[in-house]
Amino acid sequence: MKKPLLFWAGLLCLSPTLQAQTAPSTAISAETPYAADFAAAYRQYPEIPRGMLEAVAYTQTHIRHISADEQPSCTGMPLPFGVMGLVAEGKNYFRANLPLVASLSGVSEEEIKASPRSNILAYAAAYAKLAAKRKLTAEEPARHLPVLIALSELPLQKDAVSNYALDSHLYSVVTFLAKPENRQRYHFSDYRLNLPAIFGANYRILSAGSTRVSNEGVEGDGRRYNPDGSAQSRLESTDYGPAVTDFTTCNYSGRGGVAVTHYAIHTVQGTYAGCISWFKNCSSQVSAHYVVRSSDGQVTQMVSEANKAWHIGSENPYTIGTEHEGYVNDASWYTTAMYSSSAALARDIVGSGYGISGLRAFYGAATTGTYSTGACVKIKGHQHYPNQTHTDPGVNWNWEYFYTLVNNAPTVSMLSAASGYVYDAGGSAGNYPDDVRQSQLIAPTGATSVSLSFSSFDLESGYDHLLVFNGSSNQAPLLGKFSGTTVPGTLTASSGKMFLELRSDCATTRPGFAARWTSTGTSSCPADTYEANETLSAGATIGVNVNNSAYICPTGDVDWYRFTSSSTNNNIRITLSTLPLDYDLELYNAGGTLLYSSTQASTTDESIVYNGAPAATYFVKVYGYNGNTSASSYTLRVSTQASAWLVARDGATYASRSSKATPTQPLVLMTNPVEAGSKAWLTVSGYNGPAELSLRNAQGQPVGASIHTELAADQPLGYAVPPSLQPGVYFVTVQLRTHVEYLRLLVQ
10-residue stretch averages of pLDDT, the chain, 748 residues long? 28 26 31 87 95 96 94 91 95 91 93 96 95 86 90 83 86 94 92 85 83 78 63 42 78 91 97 95 95 94 92 96 97 94 94 91 93 92 96 96 92 88 91 94 89 96 95 92 95 95 93 93 76 90 94 88 90 93 91 82 88 90 88 93 63 34 61 82 83 76 80 84 83 76 78
408 contacts 348 by C-beta, under 8 angstroms: no
Give me the half-sphere count of Cα atoms (radius 13 Å) on the Cβ side of residue 242: 18
Task: Name residue 592's amino acid.
Answer: G
H or E stretch at 52: helix 52-61
CATH number for 412-520: choose from 3.40.50.300, 2.60.120.290, 2.60.40.60, 3.40.50.11030. 2.60.120.290
What's the rounded Cα separation, in Å, for the pair 77 and 144? 27
Please list the residues that pair with 466 across neighbouring strands.
482, 502
Assess whether the region 412-520 and the region 540-641 belong to the same CATH fold: yes
Sign of CA dihedral 222, 228, 229, 230: negative
Distance between CA atoms of 579 and 630, rounded to whole angstroms? 9
- Considering only CA atoms, give the Rg of the chain: 29
**Sheet strand arrangement including 583-589:** 540-541, 558-564, 617-624, 583-589, 594-598
Query: In which order are the strands placed within the sheet that holds 634-641?
Result: 547-550, 634-641, 571-577, 606-610
- In three-state secondary structure terms, 704 is coil
pLDDT at 660: 32
* C-alpha pair distances (Å), 678 with each of 506, 719, 721: 53, 8, 6
Strand segments, DSSP code E, in 578-641 are 583-589, 594-598, 606-610, 617-624, 634-641
Bridge partners of 717, per DSSP, are 682
CATH topology of domain 667-747: Immunoglobulin-like (2.60.40)
**Model pTM?**
0.55
Nearest by Cα to 728 from 705, 716, 746, 709: 746
Coil, strand or helix at 343? helix
Furthest-apart CA pair in the chain: how many Å?
Answer: 82
Report the C-alpha gap between 149 and 673 in whole angstroms: 38
CB-based contact 539:414 (threshold 8 Å)? no
pLDDT at residue number 135: 83
Task: Give residue 19's pLDDT.
Answer: 25
Q: CA of 399: how far to CAs of 181, 290, 315, in Å?
A: 29, 19, 21
Question: What is the DSSP track for 86-127?
Answer: EES--TTTS--HHHHHHHHH---HHHHHH-HHHHHHHHHHHH
Q: What is the pLDDT of residue 488?
A: 95
Among positive and negative, which fits the CA dihedral 48, 49, 54, 59? negative
pLDDT of residue 232: 26
How far is Cα 168 from Cα 206, in angstroms, rounded to an integer? 6
DSSP 263: E
Q: Are 269 and 72 in contact (CB under 8 A)?
A: yes
C-alpha span between 173 and 266 (Å, rounded): 24
What is the DSSP track for 163-220?
Answer: HHHHHHHHHHHHHHHH-HHHHHHHT-------HHHHHGGGHHHHTSSEEEEETTEEEE
Q: Which of 149, 183, 168 is nearest to 49 (CA)?
A: 183
Give the phi and the psi of residue 12 in degrees, each rounded to 5: -95, 10
340-344: Cβ within 8 A, 24+ apart? 340/297, 340/405, 341/209, 341/210, 341/292, 341/296, 341/297, 341/298, 341/299, 342/265, 342/292, 342/297, 342/402, 343/402, 343/405, 343/406, 343/408, 344/242
Prior bond of 673 cis (ω within 30°): yes
CB-count burial class (<10 Å; 0-12, 13-18, 19+) for 251: buried
Q: Tell me which CATH code domain 540-641 carries.
A: 2.60.120.380
* Helix (H), strand (E) counts: the chain: 15, 38
Q: Which residues contact 55 (CB under 8 A, 6 or more apart)?
A: 172, 173, 174, 176, 177, 182
533, HSE (Cβ side, Cα atoms, 13 Å) = 20
The full set of domain ranges for the chain reads 35-153, 201-406, 412-520, 540-641, 667-747
Looking at residue 236, its pLDDT comes to: 32
107 HSE (CA, 13 A, CB side): 20
Q: Please give the class, per CATH, of domain 201-406.
A: alpha beta
Round to whole Å and give the CA distance between 393 and 383: 7
Q: What is the pLDDT of residue 266?
A: 98
**Do the beta carbons of residue 482 and residue 424 sit within 8 Å?**
no
